[in-house]
Structure 1
């Protein structure tokens, strides 16, 4: 399952979210078309990706930030940008533009450090904005636990859109990342589960001062864990279905 939208409209334009998305998309367009061979692309990743063994040896610290803007493929990029778009605008609305930017980078760096701690001797390059975005999701959970999220559930040939509270969607996602962390080997490729789990925890903790400033439990009682403004309403969403075809008839041919 993955989210497609929330019912939590932003009170202001999320310029930082727009900028972060633009940087990630333009960066991908650059390195996806600039290099002619896989060797050249691998050199690029080695130069800007997060490599725990090199960070642990204090050889290079800049990849803690540069790696947040590099992705391994179009679907990797698209998935991360979707999550940033859904959850980032509300966090920017609550924090303000520049504080949200600092929060996002801090979550990304924190996620990278947790990943390094899970395997300090690893030479496997790690890339992607998902650690920072996981932090955004952690903060969102603290501020809007009962905000409504529309998710697309895919079970083999079954497709359905459900509306569920944020705490359920984000809780399931976090649980999957934590379970993945228990079996993750930092010396092999794959999903950086500890970066996701760590980024989520960092984001939640960094949002606590804002939550306290809003009133803490009183803020929850006042809003009941929902957005502090009218929620967005959408018309019913349906998954298109192919028309049933008659014997000997193309599914795209209208019957007479």
Structure 2
């Protein structure tokens, strides 16, 4: 798992570039995979309906790749400036990450950018305007990065957010097919 499915600075330095993508297809905690797959199901279905399944797959992979790149860049260049080791006790180059969060964040935030006035039911109960959910997600991830990316890699989520932002901006300019 560590060598083939977990993203880390050490894996990239060792030439295991495939982990930039493979980490988005595995999880450690059941709650994480359930959360990511619920997000993928509800918001991915909507994106896939509008733009097609191939587009959804490309968005997923782009979010996964960008999330991994943001994570590695954070662990290699930013985090060592503030802490010798991360909150889990790993030197930053060894700190691994795993999960689909970068990919699903790209999908969720693209949905929010496209439909900011829709209502999203947080925890299936609390109705919240999509635009506010987007602000809260990005704000929470910035806070996670500032706190050292403890158990949830906010840097990975921000990579997915960057993909959603670029895609949305290109959609607004009339690129990338129908809107």
What does the per-residue CA deviation read over 1:178-218, in whole Å, with 9 as the maximum and x for residues that have no partner? 11111115xxx51111111221122221232223329xxxx
Answer yes or no: is the 8 Å Cα contact 1:138–1:201 preserved in 2: no
Distance in 1 separating the partners of 2:51 and 2:170: 11
Map of 1:165-180 to 2, 5 A cutoff?
Answer: 165-180=129-144
- Quick one: which of 17, 22, 39 aligns to 1:66? 22
Is residue 23–residue 99 contact of structure 2 (8 Å, CA) maintained in 1?
yes
Q: CA deviation at 1:83?
A: 1.4
Q: Which residue of 1 aligns with 2:54?
A: 98
**Aligned structure 1 segments of 4 or more residues deviating by more than 4 angstroms:** none
What is the correspondence of 1:29-44 to structure 2 with a 5 Å cutoff? 44=1
Distance 1:97 1:212 in 2: 22
Greater C-alpha radius of gyration? 1
Distance apart, 1:93 and its partner CA: 1.8
1:123 to 81, 91, 94: 94
By how many angstroms is 1:112 displaced? 0.6
Higher helix share: 2
How many pairs align? Answer: 161
Is the 1:46–1:125 contact (alpha carbons within 8 Å) kept by the matching residues of 2? no
Indicate if the aligned counterparts of 1:68 and 1:108 stay in contact, CA closer than 8 A.
yes
Question: In 2, are the aligned partners of 1:52 and 1:119 still within 8 Å (CA)?
Answer: yes
TM-score norm. by structure 2 comes to 0.81
How far did 1:152 drift?
Answer: 3.1
Q: How do residues 208-247 of structure 1 correspond to structure 2 at under 5 angstroms?
A: 208-213=169-174
Counterpart of 1:54 (choices 3, 8, 11) is: 11
Distance 2:20 2:142 in 1: 22
In structure 2, C-alpha distance between the alignment counterparts of 1:172 and 1:112, rounded to whole Å: 22
TM-score (norm 1): 0.58
- Matching residue of 2:166: 205
Describe how 1:144-159 pairs up with structure 2 within 5 A: 144-152=115-123
How much has 1:96 moved relative to structure 2? 1.5
Within 5 A, what are the aligned runs for 1:105-120?
A: 105-120=61-76
Report the equivalent of 1:232.
Answer: none
- Distance between the aligned counterparts of 1:88 and 1:211, measured in 2? 20
CA RMSD, 1 decimal: 2.0
How much does 1:141 deviate? Answer: 1.9
